[in-house]
């Protein structure tokens, strides 16, 4: 059964970034930093911002912080970008309450991650996601990331959920490209690549766009990458991908993406701090040096300062 609602690109955007949540050294929300990062993302070519996803340190945000974060981003970017808010937890009632509340402070869409830790059955996952999708009128992007949740969305589960009129997309961090192509062909549900290392192959296979961590400092490159693939110019797409590759290695292979993304945003002067909340640890000097080198190689201007390594 094919979903016939609005095209996903219209609903979610195409060049999405998983926004790190700026924090002060004491762990409180950095409101000035939130404003700066949101505006930076739009200025560099992002047309969708994912708030309170994995990179946004969602498990450490309380309910009031989630609402404040969503409202601050909405105010910062106006309607220049779609705002997709992560409301998925392993507690269905909590997720429903979050969904209803973020709908009231500016969210354009919801991101629902597979329930983690509890390891429900696939039928339980369908019931969970359906209940959240039924709670508001907002469109939904499913988030399949079994490496963090311990539970993949099976092909059958995605096909089942795609019948829901508001479940329009999947952020795929599972990496089964053949399954993604098959589900897209069968259902019409849109896929967004959630693995920066695989952005090009997913786009070439028909993904509607990206939800990227590296895009925090490379949204302009990703906009060009998407444009090249849309135009059928895979030669140019490969060259753009090669340009971004050092940043992808530095941000995705050396430490958790949120840690390196925050370091990168500080190094390019968007934020004052790279603080994260425990149990994460801020980037080490060696990790910052790797990020800084990759930024320079990608033509990103960095702060002129001595770096202790």
Q: Where in the sequence numbering do the catalytic residues fall?
A: 143, 171
Nearest Cα residue to 95 out of 138, 120, 129? 129
Q: How far apart are CA 277 and CA 274, in angstroms?
A: 10
| Cα–Cα–Cα angle for 256, 267, 280, rounded to 5 degrees | 25
In sequence order, what DSSP letters do the residues of the chain get, joined into one string? Answer: ----SS-HHHHH-SEEEE----B-TTSSB-HHHHHHHHHHHHHTT--EEEESSTTTTGGG--HHHHHHHHHHHHHHHTTSSEEEEE---S-HHHHHHHHHHHHTTT-SEEEEEPPPSS---HHHHHHHHHHHHHHSSS-EEEEE-HHHHS-PPPHHHHHHHTTSTTEEEEEE-S--HHHHHHHHHHH--EEEE--GGGHHHHHHTT--EEEESGGGTTHHHHHHHHHHHHTT-HHHHHHHHHHHHHHHHHHHSSS-HHHHHHHHHHHTTS-S-----TTS-PPPHHHHHHHHHHHHHTT----------
């Amino acid at each position: 059964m094919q979903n016939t609602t609005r095209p996903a690109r219209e609903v979610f955007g195409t060049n999405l970034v998983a926004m790190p949540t700026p924090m002060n050294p004491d762990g409180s929300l950095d409101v000035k930093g939130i404003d700066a990062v949101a505006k930076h993302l739009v200025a560099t070519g992002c047309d969708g911002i994912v708030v309170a996803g994995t990179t946004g340190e969602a498990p450490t945000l309380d309910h009031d912080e989630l609402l404040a974060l969503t409202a601050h981003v909405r105010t910062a970017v106006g309607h220049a970008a779609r705002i997709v808010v992560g409301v998925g937890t392993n507690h269905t009632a909590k997720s429903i309450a979050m969904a209803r509340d973020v709908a009231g402070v500016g969210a354009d869409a919801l991101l629902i991650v597979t329930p983690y830790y509890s390891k429900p059955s696939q039928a339980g996952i369908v019931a969970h996601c359906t209940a959240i999708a039924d709670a508001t009128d907002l469109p939904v992007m499913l988030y399949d990331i079994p490496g963090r949740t311990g539970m993949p969305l099976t092909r059958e589960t995605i096909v089942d959920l795609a019948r829901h009129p508001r479940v329009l997309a999947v952020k795929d961090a599972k990496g089964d490209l053949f399954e993604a192509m098959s589900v897209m062909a069968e259902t019409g549900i849109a896929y967004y690549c959630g693995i920066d290392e695989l952005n090009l192959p997913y786009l070439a296979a028909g993904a509607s766009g990206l939800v990227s961590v590296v895009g925090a400092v490379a949204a302009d490159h990703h906009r060009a990458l998407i444009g090249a693939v849309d135009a059928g110019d895979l030669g140019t797409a490969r060259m753009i991908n090669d340009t971004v590759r050092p940043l992808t290695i530095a941000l995705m292979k050396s430490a958790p993406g949120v840690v390196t993304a925050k370091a990168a945003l500080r190094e390019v002067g968007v934020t004052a701090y790279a603080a994260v909340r425990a149990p994460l640890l801020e980037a080490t000097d060696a990790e910052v040096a790797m990020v800084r080198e990759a930024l320079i190689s990608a033509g990103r201007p960095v702060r002129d300062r001595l770096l202790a390594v």
